[in-house]
């Protein structure tokens, strides 16, 4: 069962987001996982790659989502994404 952090601020104005944006925000709201790879976000949200990238770019511009790079020792670097508001917790 997925455990969502229901205390996140974005949830208090969830009606401001369309369905695809909510899928992304919910995927990034899991209590255990603060970061998600692009592949993982696509699997969770079930959005087409182009739609995911477009919606993710909008959430990045709105400064709700941030990006970083995950560099595991044995594989190539991959972009990861998380909620900006989770930095302050």
29-45 burial, b at 16+ Cβ within 10 Å, e below that, comes to beeeebbbebeebbebb
Alpha helices by DSSP H, listed for the chain, are: 19-27, 38-45, 49-61
Q: How many CB atoms lie within 10 A of CB 75?
A: 8
Per-residue pLDDT of the chain (89 residues; tens, 9 = 90+): 569 999 999 999 999 999 999 999 999 999 999 999 999 999 999 999 999 999 999 999 999 999 999 888 777 888 999 999 998 65
């Amino acid at each position: 069962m997925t455990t969502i952090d229901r205390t996140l601020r974005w949830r208090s104005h969830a009606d401001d987001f369309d369905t695809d944006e909510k899928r992304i925000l919910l995927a990034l709201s899991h209590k255990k996982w603060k970061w998600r790879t692009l592949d993982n976000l696509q699997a969770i949200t079930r959005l087409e790659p182009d739609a995911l990238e477009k919606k993710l770019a909008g959430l990045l511009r709105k400064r709700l989502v941030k990006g970083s790079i995950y560099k595991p020792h044995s594989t190539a670097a991959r972009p990861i994404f998380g909620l900006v508001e989770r930095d302050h917790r």
